[in-house]
Structure 1
Amino acid sequence: PASDAARARTVTATIGPVAPKLAALTNDVLFGDLWRRSDLAPRDRSLATIAALAANGDEAGLAFHIGLGLENGLTRAQVGEALTHLAFYAGWPKATAAVAVADKVFKGLDANAAAPAPEGLVIIPPGAQPVQGPAATFTGAVTVASPFKGGGQAGLGGATVTFQPGARSNWHSHPLGQLLVVTDGEGLVQAEGEPVRRIRPGDVVWTPPGVRHWHGATPASAMTHVAVAEALDGKSVTWLGPVTDAEYRAPAR
């Protein structure tokens, strides 16, 4: 998904030139091993992180994590309520400073949503801006490339995603549904409560809004698909826990 790819690119671009190993640890260990632990949902981890950064006065980190928290399912009202609650435990100055950071994040998102659409055609070449799929939301080797996003009021976005054999996404859902177009290889897809299904080049997969599902490669074959989804209130995906080996290796139709 485009949001995870953008986060990985941001980490690589800001940290990587000076400390490439720290950038790798941030993407693979912090956002990978820690953020993918199933004892807390990504939304709850975001809430805890926002509270900790606000209490410590870490405004730079707070801005990033407020944006991530919105992607992980927090609403703006919930962020505001968390900062209000924090005032009674960490003090008014830190809470009001955190509110100012949140206000800048919200206004930035609103400005991006209202930005005029680019004039004319936009052509994104294959394999553009490739990044590794974050371990927080994928199992195995995954590459996210050629990200795209509509301009102006358009909420459409997506990317080309390549899964190496055995790789798959976490369970997740989309508020307005998701369209997959398989372009290469052989893969698997499953909606919660339904059997695992095989998908091949030319297959078009539609997942309705709010349906929990996962998709990825087969154990023996890589798979590439173009993923397209619309955002609702700035959010296009809700990430859930990893797909277990037992779920992944269930008989497929």
Structure 2
Amino acid sequence: MGTAKPLNSYKSLITVSALVSMYRLGALETHLKIALDHGVTREELSSTTTHLGFYAGGPSAASSIGHLRKVLEDLSPCSPYAFQTGIASHMPIRITAGGSAPPCSVPK
């Protein structure tokens, strides 16, 4: 059996849901980052935002998905968020002028 998610991840997902539902986009990006930090996955955030479109309305969900996309795109490939969300495995490796990869690797 897998381990249970920490309570903070559920609280973060509830906070993101409330912000999307109330169309409070000003605070959304910050709370998306906090949710990732608390262990909420990229897929959970995406599916929650999409699901809320049926209840909070299409414009709210569409704007929220745009904010989520921005947060995920702004992450560095070496960021802990990138590893947690699986972004690092989909990002091209940038080779520096010295011919080496960035000083990070995907944790196993």
The total of aligned residue pairs comes to: 85
Structure 2: runs of 5 or more not aligned: 1-5, 78-90
Give the secondary-structure state (helix, strand or coil) at the position aligned to 2:18.
helix
- Report the counterpart of residue 87 of structure 2 in structure 1: none
Q: Distance in 2 between matches of 1:100 and 1:153?
A: 30
Q: Distance in 2 between matches of 1:52 and 1:152?
A: 38
Tell me which stretches of 4 or more aligned residues in structure 1 moved more than 2 Å: 114-119
Residue 63 (1) aligns with residue 18 (2): no
Q: Deviations over 1:63-107 (max 9, x none)?
A: 111111111111111101101111111111100100000000010
Q: Distance in 2 between matches of 1:46 and 1:76?
A: 13
1:61 Cα shift? 1.0
Q: After the TM superposition, which residues 1-253 of structure 1 pair with which residues of structure 2 at under 5 Å, given as runs?
A: 41-109=7-75, 112-113=76-77, 152=102, 154=104, 232=107
Q: Distance in 1 between matches of 2:38 and 2:95?
A: 26
Q: Name the structure with the higher helix share.
A: 2
Structure 1: runs of 5 or more not aligned: 1-39, 120-150, 156-230, 233-253
Give the secondary-structure state (helix, strand or coil) at the position aligned to 2:26.
helix
Structure having the higher Rg = 1
- Report the counterpart of residue 3 of structure 2 in structure 1: none
Give the secondary-structure state (helix, strand or coil) at the position aligned to 1:60.
coil
Q: Name the structure with the higher strand share.
A: 1
One-letter amino acid of the structure 1 residue matched with residue 9 of structure 2: R
Q: Distance in 2 between matches of 1:55 and 1:95?
A: 8
One-letter amino acid of the structure 2 residue matched with residue 86 of structure 1: L
Q: Which has the higher contact order (CA 8 A, sep 6+)?
A: 2
In percent, how many aligned pairs have the same letter? 27
Under a length normalisation based on structure 1, what TM-score does the superposition of the two structures give? 0.30
Under a length normalisation based on structure 2, what TM-score does the superposition of the two structures give? 0.67
